[in-house]
Structure 1
């Protein structure tokens, strides 16, 4: 093999694309609105900029959205009415047939096919028109709920229009800034060399950030301490505190500040239910107007409308900037994006916005730059909004489209692993690592950024070799999470990586010195429009999940199937390197589950004692059945009894206290202490029963109890033991793996919906309420036979 003669990639021969990427559904084209475009920062799980659907709004809605100068009210009925969209009938609807968003059915206007192609348009269904309400008409709660359900915008069933424009009208109330800093009491001071120091307010706030978390692991981290103190000294310098001569962190005493914030935390924890409720009501009232916006006349929830308060950056993993000051964001740093001829949200008194845009080609409502990494922050619509839903749908459909090209891509890069041109060989090797190991593409980092790398930015020191074909990868990935894997790779890939590391390369040098992500992505465009390295990660995660779910037998209990589903999810999370450190509470949490199992076994043993008392012959015929479980020795039983009794006492006491709190809030008469003693007698009777069992080996049997009833209860307890044991195993298996990231960002949600419907596992066990709202489109469109 000859060495590479050029640093330039040789492009692949021109190929005719095998398929054209299809959109959600074809609709009537509209003339694009010409505006200045703003490039947004792509999320890790996003692809090339995804186009959003522009919904058709009624003239009334547009007029109302553009002319109203009032704050948006969540209860505003007229806005709901104007949000109703009447879409023109689609061909499928006109023919009386419908299509599904499951990728397995062709539109009925096309010939029937058994193909599993993913090029399937959305169903075009006529939207239901909301019942109009005359002014002053009273609507019952039930009617309101029905109307809200009817008005839910099912974008996946609506006709798709021009994708270059995200909205026609947009009205919102801007962002919510954190409250101003509240100075510490005059007696609470930072001490330096044992002496109280009067800090300028700006510096006092920063000192409070560190003092409040004095006993955390973060504050004990040397990097955290160093970064904090450097920024603290800079703030002192800026606000005229240089004369204080605070030069060494070890001479600073934050104890008084820590105790002050600990006391405040304790006071908050000790608040009554009524006090907490009042605070929540005030908070909700303050946030109410920021929670919703009107997009083309439709009411949509806003996602992260709160500006993050200042504090100390923590970061994930071994982040080099941990402890640095997250500065307070001011209105002068925030750019607002809103519809033209629409009232601009008012900034806080005495302030102005950095800029006000009317860019309908982007979906963000506000943006600003944070100071830690210089990253652009955005306010988007909520996860369950139509725009975010369409973005998710397109992302997963793009990944599904890759399955039509993956065989050709793999064939080509396998061939190019031996290419004489070094640039091609590096590109092929990188594609192998991205495809097989699900590595991120990576990119160049500035000197002041975290030293995180991906495939294209791997350096000399990040790989080691174990013959015959094992490669040891050790580097910091996204969020400074360590990626350490010993992987057996293709023999040619092994040879190539050794070649890329060959002298004169040394520590710090790039392995892929003739490749970068843009070059790689341009090459991938030859195979499929919109294909980038990121799509491989979504594709492989979903494909792996599909393969794992196919291995699960449709038998056993719901809990057994749920554990099997989590095991499949865990395989994907490991592939994507979604690791986490074992939490401090993990051991305690597992211990509680173990105690719960022992308590159930003890309860089962009590029932067996009752059976033996009712029918002594049963014990004679099968004495082993009536023995306690091996774990239930005398010391364990005594501990469990004490534990159960104390827990019941705590329950009675807390319930009594809550009832009195409620009565006090309503100015009612408080329950006397004698009432608590009366209630506590039930617990004392339970304790007496346990003591009797320990002394005599007998248990009081309630009237009407029979052997048959006891057997039925024993069977239920045995099932609970099995289920709780599965829960414990699942918790232990997932202690170092984060399942949520892959479930939200990389696994097509329709796979989870398919599993739920095919295996009769409630979707509530698989998706939280938040995810059920986010993936409503998947829940309503996929069936038990859906395939990725």
Structure 2
């Protein structure tokens, strides 16, 4: 017999319960030794429990029963007899203290280790406001998700096992999602960039810190596309199949941030009240901190301060330190003695001056910047002009990180050309680096979709210059991701059947795999990867710790941990009885806080297991599948009626359900309350205008008060005279600002056309309208009457106006409710990354809502393939 517990049936582990723990009789029931109460999160109020679950065995109905003693097969010894061999030691006592095996599937006999780190407490900003509801919405939606899942599993077999390539649409419509072979004679839209510079032209020198661009004549060929037939790559079956991503590639490199401009001589960092002189490199770093004093969540963070000051002292040491006005050395030792306010005031004044620039000047500066960057904005990819995404090299600054990142405040060093690797075609001219510099390396990697790369100094991560989101390559990547999720639809029933079966598997590793897949599928947990000591200690399914899981009999589990981007995941869910039993086994003593629940499993091993069902299947595909499938089902059942705002709200309600099930939460924005107050005031203002219209009707026909009743003309209870006067002042000031802006725009237009600008006296004449409005309001307040206004006013016209105002009020109320409902939910995350965009297009076409209400201009470009490839009958 093997000494590995993984190879030993759970029922045969002598001297242990099913989790490998010695048991003793206590008051007629069995309890574990060394049980630790892990404590409970109170995000949704205190959990009423006496601690974690008692290690009693629960029957299928949730009742507690005493387990019978039995004789182990093959050993002839009592189940409760102690054993001393290593094989029969409890699981945790036989664990090693090394890191997890990279692939435990090839070494099942060795339990995976613990890293011993504890989960940091979720900060208030990471948690968000508490819900007013006594029952978390996640639990309310769990039943709906289960219903959708069961309905999907009951679909007719042909539907679930449909061909990967959808059936084409009727001939009169565009193809739903099939492929249409494009004629081989299709010409590229753009010409190739010329490989050699024109004779007689010198190599452009570095300008404003940027790499020299390709010659103007050459760049014009990038900027001026030929008018040709639109290329629909999603209908081209030859794209995205092979490993070679391009045959020819030309681009102009990257844009570097401008060099540092030293502070004026009268602006200095003060140390212990004394202005000090710094080397420009050290002064630049001091400016990073000084320039962001208004970002209190960072500069008041002790970790941020500590990391910044550590790097600042290192730079001071390398650059000769600090000197006082007399030239004497100043030893900067204490952060608390550093005064960065003079630096902040200087940079803040610069920001205010830039903000106060006339619109025409801002437009001119932007045009200059765009002209300088134009050669870098596009590349030629297989003869086609493609937009480049992040062609600017990140400027030096202070690293902020997400959540409680241990490296927050570290100095992000300036990236030099010598750190950058260029990826370009062999026949293409290599873009020249800035004068006096050279590239680290020039590659011709046809399997890579990057144009340039470098390694940043904080986490050692590689940064890549890639094509823009609306490029063919990025679109193909998105298309492939969602098609993979659609492919999972054909396999999901078998996967669920298998993991349900393996929840009772004899081998511990198989049980852990099945339990992990269950949690990932049912509760949208991320897989979770190993974290280094210098990374934020976020958690996923495979890296759940003892303290992240609390058990409440008979079958409730509380998850409480920091997930991706340090967003807190808190949920109390009901699980299958066998899953609950397995989690009891995985948590048994001697495991304690810091120990991992799935100590035999890694993300790579789990993904390797999943790939056996479907090529390319990983844990994260389940999130895309479940989000898209749930949204698809909700949209099929939806009957969106009413105006556009009401239909948009119906879509957002479905999107919100998906976002909550996927735990796409966000902290409530600090500005949310203020925004809601403004929306409320605007609605109140519309109700006031409706009342004014009714008063005008009485001014025209006083007998209406008797006909319609006095109540019809009464002011709403929450609108009093004090609020009316404040609102009237607001309306007068609003009109005054509109007049001023219109005056400025008119002058800008005249200046641009070379004509004489309007005089200040013209502005005074225009402002008279605001003064007249103010007089009208004062008269109304004094007399209590509202005179009818407008050309040939009539009761009929005013009633039409009242109807329009009422419609506006209803639309604004729907929008306000929608905004309030979504305050803690990141709808964008699910809509952009997890819900197949073609489903949004289907909703748009089916219910006649402009796609602009769901996708911004950038997203419409990103999802052009989705918008143009399906009609309202397409199905996920």
After alignment, is 235-244 or 185-194 more displaced? 235-244
Counterparts of 2:622 and 2:217 in 1: how far apart (Å)?
A: 41
Does the 8 Å contact 2:640/2:650 carry over to 1? no
State yes or no: 1:249 paired with 2:249.
no
State yes or no: 1:154 paired with 2:241.
no
The 5 A counterparts of 1:226-305 are 226-241=306-321, 244-305=330-391
The 5 A counterparts of 1:343-742 are 343-621=429-707, 622-660=709-747, 663=750, 668-701=755-788, 702-742=790-830
Question: Which residue of the partner structure matches residue 184 of structure 1?
Answer: 263
The 5 A counterparts of 1:73-92 are none
Does the 8 Å contact 2:191/2:383 carry over to 1? no
Does the 8 Å contact 1:11/1:523 carry over to 2? no
Could you say if the C-alpha distance between residues 354 and 151 of structure 1 is closer, same or farther in structure 2, counting changes exceeding 3 Å? farther
Counterparts of 1:434 and 1:748 in 2: how far apart (Å)?
A: 19
* Pairwise CA distance, 1:172: 0.4
RMSD over aligned Cα atoms: 2.8
Counterparts of 2:566 and 2:671 in 1: how far apart (Å)?
A: 23
Could you say if the C-alpha distance between residues 225 and 381 of structure 1 is closer, same or farther in structure 2, counting changes exceeding 3 Å? same
Does the 8 Å contact 2:560/2:569 carry over to 1? yes
Gaps of 5+ in 1: 13-17, 26-52, 84-129, 131-146
The 5 A counterparts of 1:40-51 are none
- CA deviation digits over 1:240-290, x for unaligned, max 9? 328642111111000100000011011101111221122111100111000
Could you say if the C-alpha distance between residues 581 and 73 of structure 1 is closer, same or farther in structure 2, counting changes exceeding 3 Å? farther
Does the 8 Å contact 1:66/1:339 carry over to 2? no
* Pairwise CA distance, 1:20: 11
* Pairwise CA distance, 1:600: 0.8
State yes or no: 1:322 paired with 2:408.
yes
**Secondary structure of residue in 1 paired with 2:454:** strand
After alignment, is 702-711 or 429-438 more displaced? 702-711
State yes or no: 1:67 paired with 2:195.
yes
Question: Which residue of the partner structure matches residue 304 of structure 2?
Answer: 224
- CA deviation digits over 1:464-497, x for unaligned, max 9? 2233322222222122222222222222222222
Counterparts of 1:343 and 1:77 in 2: how far apart (Å)?
A: 16
Question: Which residue of the partner structure matches residue 121 of structure 1?
Answer: none
**Secondary structure of residue in 1 paired with 2:671:** helix
Counterparts of 1:61 and 1:637 in 2: how far apart (Å)?
A: 61
State yes or no: 1:767 paired with 2:855.
yes
Does the 8 Å contact 1:169/1:297 carry over to 2? yes
Could you say if the C-alpha distance between residues 64 and 683 of structure 1 is closer, same or farther in structure 2, counting changes exceeding 3 Å? closer
Question: Which residue of the partner structure matches residue 171 of structure 1?
Answer: 250
State yes or no: 1:193 paired with 2:281.
no
Could you say if the C-alpha distance between residues 10 and 330 of structure 1 is closer, same or farther in structure 2, counting changes exceeding 3 Å? closer
- CA deviation digits over 1:35-56, x for unaligned, max 9? xxxxxxxxxxxxxxxxxx9998
Counterparts of 1:267 and 1:61 in 2: how far apart (Å)?
A: 44
* Pairwise CA distance, 1:685: 1.4
* Pairwise CA distance, 1:669: 3.7
**Secondary structure of residue in 1 paired with 2:667:** coil
Could you say if the C-alpha distance between residues 626 and 163 of structure 1 is closer, same or farther in structure 2, counting changes exceeding 3 Å? same
Gaps of 5+ in 2: 1-9, 14-19, 21-86, 92-100, 109-159, 168-180, 199-213, 323-328
Does the 8 Å contact 2:841/2:870 carry over to 1? yes
After alignment, is 206-215 or 370-379 more displaced? 370-379
* Pairwise CA distance, 1:572: 2.0
After alignment, is 188-197 or 736-745 more displaced? 736-745
Counterparts of 1:54 and 1:581 in 2: how far apart (Å)?
A: 47
Does the 8 Å contact 1:311/1:326 carry over to 2? yes
Question: Which residue of the partner structure matches residue 781 of structure 1?
Answer: 869
Counterparts of 2:535 and 2:460 in 1: how far apart (Å)?
A: 9
- CA deviation digits over 1:497-532, x for unaligned, max 9? 222111111221111111111111111111111111
Counterparts of 1:61 and 1:393 in 2: how far apart (Å)?
A: 22
After alignment, is 349-358 or 580-589 more displaced? 580-589
Does the 8 Å contact 1:203/1:236 carry over to 2? yes
Could you say if the C-alpha distance between residues 768 and 353 of structure 1 is closer, same or farther in structure 2, counting changes exceeding 3 Å? same
* Pairwise CA distance, 1:332: 1.3
Does the 8 Å contact 2:547/2:594 carry over to 1? yes
Does the 8 Å contact 1:66/1:169 carry over to 2? no
- CA deviation digits over 1:7-53, x for unaligned, max 9? 955999xxxxx98995899xxxxxxxxxxxxxxxxxxxxxxxxxxx9
Could you say if the C-alpha distance between residues 466 and 73 of structure 1 is closer, same or farther in structure 2, counting changes exceeding 3 Å? farther
**Secondary structure of residue in 2 paired with 1:343:** coil
Does the 8 Å contact 1:597/1:725 carry over to 2? yes
**Secondary structure of residue in 1 paired with 2:467:** coil
Q: Which has the larger radius of gyration?
A: 2
- CA deviation digits over 1:707-733, x for unaligned, max 9? 211111111100100111111111212
Could you say if the C-alpha distance between residues 368 and 22 of structure 1 is closer, same or farther in structure 2, counting changes exceeding 3 Å? farther
Question: Which residue of the partner structure matches residue 743 of structure 1?
Answer: 831
Give TM-score, length-normalised by structure 2.
0.75
- CA deviation digits over 1:95-130, x for unaligned, max 9? xxxxxxxxxxxxxxxxxxxxxxxxxxxxxxxxxxx7
* Pairwise CA distance, 1:704: 1.8
* Pairwise CA distance, 1:383: 0.6
Does the 8 Å contact 1:173/1:293 carry over to 2? yes
**Secondary structure of residue in 2 paired with 1:215:** coil
Does the 8 Å contact 1:9/1:424 carry over to 2? no
Question: Which residue of the partner structure matches residue 285 of structure 2?
Answer: 206
Question: Which residue of the partner structure matches residue 175 of structure 2?
Answer: none
Question: Which residue of the partner structure matches residue 104 of structure 1?
Answer: none
Question: Which residue of the partner structure matches residue 143 of structure 1?
Answer: none
Could you say if the C-alpha distance between residues 66 and 673 of structure 1 is closer, same or farther in structure 2, counting changes exceeding 3 Å? closer
Counterparts of 1:494 and 1:469 in 2: how far apart (Å)?
A: 6
Does the 8 Å contact 1:66/1:340 carry over to 2? no
Does the 8 Å contact 1:54/1:167 carry over to 2? no
**Secondary structure of residue in 2 paired with 1:378:** strand
* Pairwise CA distance, 1:671: 2.9
Size of the alignment, in residue pairs?
691
Question: Which residue of the partner structure matches residue 23 of structure 2?
Answer: none
After alignment, is 656-665 or 187-196 more displaced? 656-665
**Secondary structure of residue in 1 paired with 2:490:** coil
Counterparts of 1:642 and 1:74 in 2: how far apart (Å)?
A: 57
Does the 8 Å contact 1:336/1:366 carry over to 2? yes
Give TM-score, length-normalised by structure 1.
0.83
* Pairwise CA distance, 1:646: 1.4
* Pairwise CA distance, 1:374: 1.7
Does the 8 Å contact 2:307/2:410 carry over to 1? yes
